[in-house]
Amino acid sequence: MTARRVRYERIIWGLRLATRITLVAALAGTVIPGDTGRRASAAAVGLVIAAPLLRVSWLAYRWWRWGDRLFASVAASLLAVVGAGAAIALLTR
Amino acid sequence: MSFLLVLLALATASLGALGGLGGAVILVPLLVLTGTPAREAAPLGLLSVASRSMAAGPWQLAELTVHHRLGVTSETLAAAGASLRGRDEVHAVATEEGDGDLGEQRTSAAALPVFAGHGRINLAHAGPIIAGSLLGGQLGARLQARLDPTVLRRALAAVLVVVAAILFVQA
């Protein structure tokens, strides 16, 4: 196993776990009727939206800790753009 | 309806993973053809793309095919465009001047919070779409290594032509 692959082991584990939890929530949302099913679907939607953002947050933190300020800033900018888009959507709802 | 949505999402996400397309390119027209309003189909298509991407992520990382710095840099500009486009589209659909969005994989994470913020994600349909797309994404990624790329490209082109023809006739 290469050093790069070892570096990614934690994020691979995290993504696999998130995928499994999302699948369970989505299947629950599919088969369970009523409010419980809607809540399960909402949880699945939340996980699908949150997973890539958490991944970018993790990258920003890691790059900042390693002293790569440039790409840490780029990752933080990406999160800021997405956050601003969501905030504008909520305010103009 | 839920079972049909699971099947549609599974099939289109598999095809998307096989051919390297965003699954929404096929899923959104099919959803519209099966009676889903374009206003609902667009965010469901993005959910499918994001789910497929989520399922494929661990595989791609394990195979070391991800360049994070390049991805984050290009995504920053794409996200700005997607957020604005998602917001603009909400207003376009509200005035019945717009139609479905065939979003790209890279912009789904940015546009989805905008659609969620506007309450445009149909939760009754989101569960089946996500479930089908997660399963289809994994299935497609596994099949990709076993199939002939030329046959795959031709099959995908045929599917796209059929979808385009149906949409042309329906319009």
Question: How many Å lie between the alpha carbon of A35 and the closest alpha carbon of chain B?
Answer: 10
Q: Into how many domains does chain B fold?
A: 1
- Chunk chain A into consecutive blocks of 10 residues (it has 93) and report each block's average pLDDT, rounded to whole numbers: 70 90 93 90 92 89 92 91 82 75
Q: Does B162 have pLDDT greater than 60? A: yes
Which tens digits make up the pLDDT trace of B16-31?
877 766 667 788 888 8
Are B50 and A48 within 8 A, CB to CB? yes
Instruction: Give B51 or B56, the one with higher predicted confidence.
Output: B51
Domain boundaries along the sequence of chain A: 3-91
Q: Which residues of chain B have a CB within 8 Å of the CB of A49?
A: 50, 109, 112-113, 116
The CA distance from A60 to A62, in Å, is 5
- Cβ distance B135 to A23 less than 8 Å, yes or no, reads yes
Interface contact B72-A78, CB threshold 8 A: yes
A57 contact B CB<8A:
no
Q: Is the pLDDT of residue B69 over 50?
A: yes
Range of the domain at B151: 2-170
Contacts of A42 in chain B (CB under 8 A): 123, 126
Distance (Å, rounded) from C-alpha B41 to C-alpha B23? 12
Q: Which two tokens stand for residue B33?
A: 């053809």
pLDDT of residue B101: 29
B residues 46..65 contacting A (CB < 8 A): 47, 50-51, 53-55, 57-58, 61-62, 64
Percent of chain B topping pLDDT 70: 78
B70, two tokens:
């390049």
B113-139 pLDDT per residue, tens: 778 777 788 888 999 999 999 998 888
Mean pLDDT of chain B: 76
| C-alpha span between A86 and B118 (Å, rounded) | 9
Shortest CB distance from B117 goes to which of A40, A59, A89? A89
This prediction's pTM = 0.79
Q: Decide which of B76 and A1 is more confident.
A: B76
Q: Return the HEC string of chain B.
A: CHHHHHHHHHHHHHHHHHHCCCCHHHHHHHHHHCCCCHHHHHHHHHHHHHHHHHHHHHHHHHCCCCCHHHHHHHHHHHHHHHHHHHHHHHHHHHCCCCCCCCCCHHHHHHHHHHHHHCCCCCHHHHHHHHHHHHHHHHHHHHHHCCCCHHHHHHHHHHHHHHHHHHHHHHC
Only one residue has tokens 């299935």, namely B139
Which residue did the predictor score with more confidence, B155 or B97? B155
Q: What percent of chain B has pLDDT over 90?
A: 7
Judged by CB atoms within 8 Å, which residues 93-152 of B form the interface with A? Answer: 109-119, 121, 123-124, 126-128, 130-131, 134-135
